[in-house]
Amino acid sequence: MRLVSKTITKSSQNMNNTPNVLTIAGSDPSGGAGVQGDIKVFQSLGVNGLSVITCITSQVPGHVNSVYPIHKKKISMQIDLLNEHYQISAIKLGLLNSVESIEAILNSFNKFDKRPPIIIDPIINSSKGTNFLNSEALNLYKKELLPIASLYTPNLHEGETLLGDKTLAHEDMAKRLYQEFQSPVVLKGGHSNKEKAIDIYVDKNGVSIFESPMIKNLDPHGTGCFYSSSICALVALGYSIQEAISKSKIYITKAITKSANIGGTVNSLNYNISEFNT
């Protein structure tokens, strides 16, 4: 089983000219990340959000208690039904915590007449260290999913895990990730200890740098979900990958700046993108 298509095309839209955007991810009962967070971003950016649940988490900002997987047949049923009834303009992949969930998604993707752009947020561990992918699932993820991505969005720790190498500098790691999986990548630097939050994008045309001020002493819940779902929604609206990254970089910076502790042990993001005046 090997999927190869990753061409970005503008998919058909619904009767109201609003793109349908699908998130395939885990459920977060706090609403600060996962499917719930993705849907908030989609709504705020003016696209119609569809969702497929891959697992049910028990978590609040700052603490993951447990992850309960959804059976692979149930995952496939959700995707297949949405594919049958909706013209999907873009897909975002979030938390996939088992070989079975990855296989279900790959099988369902093979049923698309024309697969839309796929934005992958490679969630391997939580920010607090909870492991989501065992070695078998990670190997399948790298072999079958990343090569079909229109873009994937690892942070530095995830990049190290995907490559099995902790010795590379930021830009070298981004280039190596592109070489390894042959899909456009934006390697995020928001968890580094530098003065600027630098994200490095690599595709067949070379390297692009996206910078924003580093926001210190704030590490809110759901930043990776927000960033990748924003990129996904903007691609569905017709923006290029680099345009979507640039705008999403502004959005996530402001969402972090305006975050607040409304529960749990860390801040939750502000999802009201319409208030950001960009």
* Residue boundaries of the structural domains of the chain: 20-273
Say if residue 2's pLDDT is above 50.
no
Four-residue CA torsion sign, 141, 143, 149, 151 = positive
For 171-209, write each residue's pLDDT tens digit. Answer: 999 999 999 999 999 999 976 667 899 999 999 999 999
Predicted pLDDT at 5: 44
Element (DSSP H or E) covering residue 100 = helix 99-109
For 52-67, write each residue's pLDDT tens digit. Answer: 999 999 999 999 999 9
For 98-134, write each residue's pLDDT tens digit. Answer: 999 999 999 999 999 999 999 999 999 876 667 888 8
Residue 110 near residue 69 (C-beta atoms within 8 A): no
CATH number of this structure's domain 20-273: 3.40.1190.20
Residue 104 near residue 73 (C-beta atoms within 8 A): yes
